[in-house]
Amino acid sequence: MENSAIFLLQSLAAIHLTMTLFMYLVALVLILIYPLYLYITKPLNRIKRHGDLGYHFGTPELADKYRDKQIERLKRIRMKGDLPPVYPNGWYCIAESPQLAHKQIMPIVVFGEQLSLIRSEDGSVHLIDSYCPHLGANFNVGGRVVDNNCVQCPFHGWVFSAESGSCTRIPYNDGTIPEQARVTVWPVVERNQHIYVWFDADGSAPEWEIPSIDDIQNGQWTYKGRTEHEVACHVQEIPENGADIAHLGFLHLAGAPVGNDIIRIDLSDRAPSIAHKWNGNWSASNTEKHVSKMHLEQVLKFHGFDIPLSASKLDAIQIGPGIVHMHLDFGTLGKGIVLHHVTPEEPLMQRARFVMYSNLPRWFAKFFLLAEANQFERDVYVWSNKRYVKNPLLVKNDGPIGKHRRWYSQFYSDNSPRLLPDGTLSNRAKSVLEW
Ligand code: FES
Ligand SMILES: [Fe+2]
């Protein structure tokens, strides 16, 4: 009787100890897993500034204090080629809607100009030249949004309507306001959670609209992350990638694990253990002249076998020179869109953005955006150093690069600014409302 009581007590103690250890183990696993969970479900926000990647400094690598000087030198000696005009006509993304709060002035650089993007008290967006016509102060540095949609200059307090451009108030003046007291206004539109400016070198009004994506507007597809890259190249080089089918199976063959740095990737390995299989085609639209389409099917392979859930179908609709709507279909996992924008900030400086809205699981969307950024950044290495070849030496299976160039040339006109050998422009970019 005594023995069985002792045995019972020992058993209870053992169970208690086991359960306590188990609880500690569970707590430890949760503590370790929680940060990982937070990481994979937080939307991606990957930003690569000019110089972060894309440049090679020889051996030994020049780093630290020599880095910026070497980048400047590489840019100085870079052969640019016989470039097309630098600012094609069309709509360009200048900001993402959530970046611009009410009553905020956001500095914008586009077409080599400093502009000020304004959100009024009631939410409307306006874009104006940054320099005050009075004595030239810059609204981006100390300007304020007042009277709903007006900007007050920080120097002497003159107030300009960001909607009409005209001066509405001079704090110390009791006479009439001079007629010339006005700032240039640029036409903008806010759509699909982005803000766009219209540019046309001949002063023509927009001939086409940016399609509205219903699933973004009605909230079916939610924000899933973004990437942003500054790329030192001509604006046309980036969309031309869509028609350059042959480079997919070379530069973009190896999967993300090998990285984005094309100096370190072994591009001679034609059978990497994780490899993309691409199948793509590009064509101009028959119905809308400013639209073209790339259809791309992709699957990731591990030693020749398909990796589950990795297959994707993509229809990339290029709308004018700077906007691409990448419609994604991952079958049972979900659908979505990546809005891809390329905006010429300077003759050879582009801001490229990818922003995803989808019903895909958050971890999967993050994986996709990271993998896409990895491939895009390999192109950045090429774009940041190449020269533009006006008459490329094309062979069979190179893809419809010539057709793409003919299609894209519709966005250039006689007045389109050209980069001259001395680094200046043939003519300044100006708002179509200035004509
Ligand atoms: S410079 Fe702007 S108010 Fe004088
Ligand atoms: Fe590419």
Q: Are 80 and 388 contacting, i.e. CB atoms less than 8 angstroms apart?
A: yes
* Residue 1: pLDDT over 60: no
Q: Judge if 223 and 348 occupy the same domain.
A: yes
* Residue 274: pLDDT over 90: yes
Q: Ligand 1, residue 157: give the atom nearest the CA.
A: 3
DSSP 8-state code for residue 205: P
Ligand nearest to the CA of residue 231, numbered in listed order: 2
Decide whether any atom of ligand 1 lies within 6 Å of the 134 Cβ: yes
* Residue 386: pLDDT over 70: yes
CATH code for the domain of 110: 2.102.10.10
* Residue 435: pLDDT over 90: no
Decide whether any atom of ligand 1 lies within 6 Å of the 135 Cβ: yes
Asked which of 191, 219, 253 is the last residue of a domain, the reply is 191
Q: Judge if 281 and 383 occupy the same domain.
A: yes
Decide whether any atom of ligand 1 lies within 6 Å of the 137 Cβ: yes
* Residue 241: pLDDT over 90: yes
Angle, helices 362-383 vs 2-41, to 10°: value is 40
Note whether residue 310 is domain-resident. Answer: yes
* Residue 99: pLDDT over 90: yes
Mean pLDDT of 44-57: 92
> Best of 139, 153, 173 to mutate for ligand 1, by most ligand atoms within 8 A of CB?
153
The pLDDT value recorded for residue 59 is 67
CATH code for the domain of 230: 3.90.380.10
- Token pair for 305: 């076998």
Distance between CA atoms of 356 and 353, rounded to whole angstroms?
10
Decide whether any atom of ligand 1 lies within 6 Å of the 223 Cβ: no
Please count the structural domains in the chain.
Answer: 3
Q: Judge if 255 and 370 occupy the same domain.
A: yes
Decide whether any atom of ligand 1 lies within 6 Å of the 155 Cβ: yes
Task: Summarize pLDDT for 189-212 with one digit per residue, the tens.
Answer: 999 999 999 999 999 999 999 999
The pLDDT value recorded for residue 58 is 73
Q: Judge if 37 and 66 occupy the same domain.
A: no
Q: Judge if 259 and 174 occupy the same domain.
A: no
Upstream peptide bond of 171 is cis (omega within 30 degrees of 0): no
Mean pLDDT of 123-145: 98
Q: Judge if 167 and 248 occupy the same domain.
A: no
Task: Summarize pLDDT for 248-261 with one digit per residue, the tens.
Answer: 999 999 999 999 99
> Best of 105, 156, 167 to mutate for ligand 1, by most ligand atoms within 8 A of CB?
156
The pLDDT value recorded for residue 180 is 95
Q: How confident is the model at residue 3 (pLDDT cuts 50, 70, 90)?
A: confident
Percent of the chain with pLDDT over 90: 84
Note whether residue 215 is domain-resident. Answer: yes
Percent of the chain with pLDDT over 70: 99
| Secondary structure class of 341 (helix, strand, coil) | strand
Note whether residue 423 is domain-resident. Answer: no
The pLDDT value recorded for residue 68 is 87
Is 396 buried (19+), middle (13-18) or exposed (0-12) by CB count in 10 A? exposed
Mean pLDDT of 30-50: 92
Note whether residue 247 is domain-resident. Answer: yes
Q: How confident is the model at residue 67 (pLDDT cuts 50, 70, 90)?
A: confident
3-state secondary structure 273-294: CEEEEEEEEEEECCCCCCEEEE
Mean pLDDT of 275-298: 95
What DSSP string runs through 56-101?
---SSPP-GGGHHHHHHHHHHH---BSPPPSS-SEEEEEEEGGGS-
Instruction: State in Å: Cα 38 to ligand 2 middle.
Output: 31
Note whether residue 71 is domain-resident. Answer: yes
Note whether residue 235 is domain-resident. Answer: yes
Ligand nearest to the CA of residue 237, numbered in listed order: 2
Q: Judge if 231 and 378 occupy the same domain.
A: yes
The pLDDT value recorded for residue 141 is 98
Decide whether any atom of ligand 1 lies within 6 Å of the 156 Cβ: yes
- Determine the structural domain holding residue 267 and report its residue range: 45-77+203-411
**Closest C-alpha residue for ligand 1 atom 4:** 156
Q: Which of 27-36, 337-346, 419-428 has the lowest mean pLDDT?
A: 27-36
Note whether residue 82 is domain-resident. Answer: no
Note whether residue 430 is domain-resident. Answer: no
Q: Judge if 306 and 373 occupy the same domain.
A: yes
Asked which of 134, 169, 191 is the last residue of a domain, the reply is 191
Residue owning tokens 């057709």: 403
Q: Judge if 49 and 32 occupy the same domain.
A: no
Decide whether any atom of ligand 1 lies within 6 Å of the 177 Cβ: no
Q: Judge if 209 and 314 occupy the same domain.
A: yes
Mean pLDDT of 66-88: 92
Instruction: State in Å: Cα 171 to ligand 1 middle.
Output: 11
Task: Summarize pLDDT for 21-36 with one digit per residue, the tens.
Answer: 999 998 988 888 888 8
Asked which of 157, 191, 225 is the last residue of a domain, the reply is 191
Q: Judge if 170 and 225 occupy the same domain.
A: no
Q: Are 157 and 183 contacting, i.e. CB atoms less than 8 angstroms apart?
A: no
Q: Judge if 126 and 263 occupy the same domain.
A: no
Mean pLDDT of 290-315: 93
Of 171, 134, 168, nearest to 149 (Cα)?
Answer: 168
Distance between CA atoms of 150 and 124, rounded to whole angstroms?
11
The pLDDT value recorded for residue 60 is 62
Q: How confident is the model at residue 292 (pLDDT cuts 50, 70, 90)?
A: very high
Residue type, 81: G
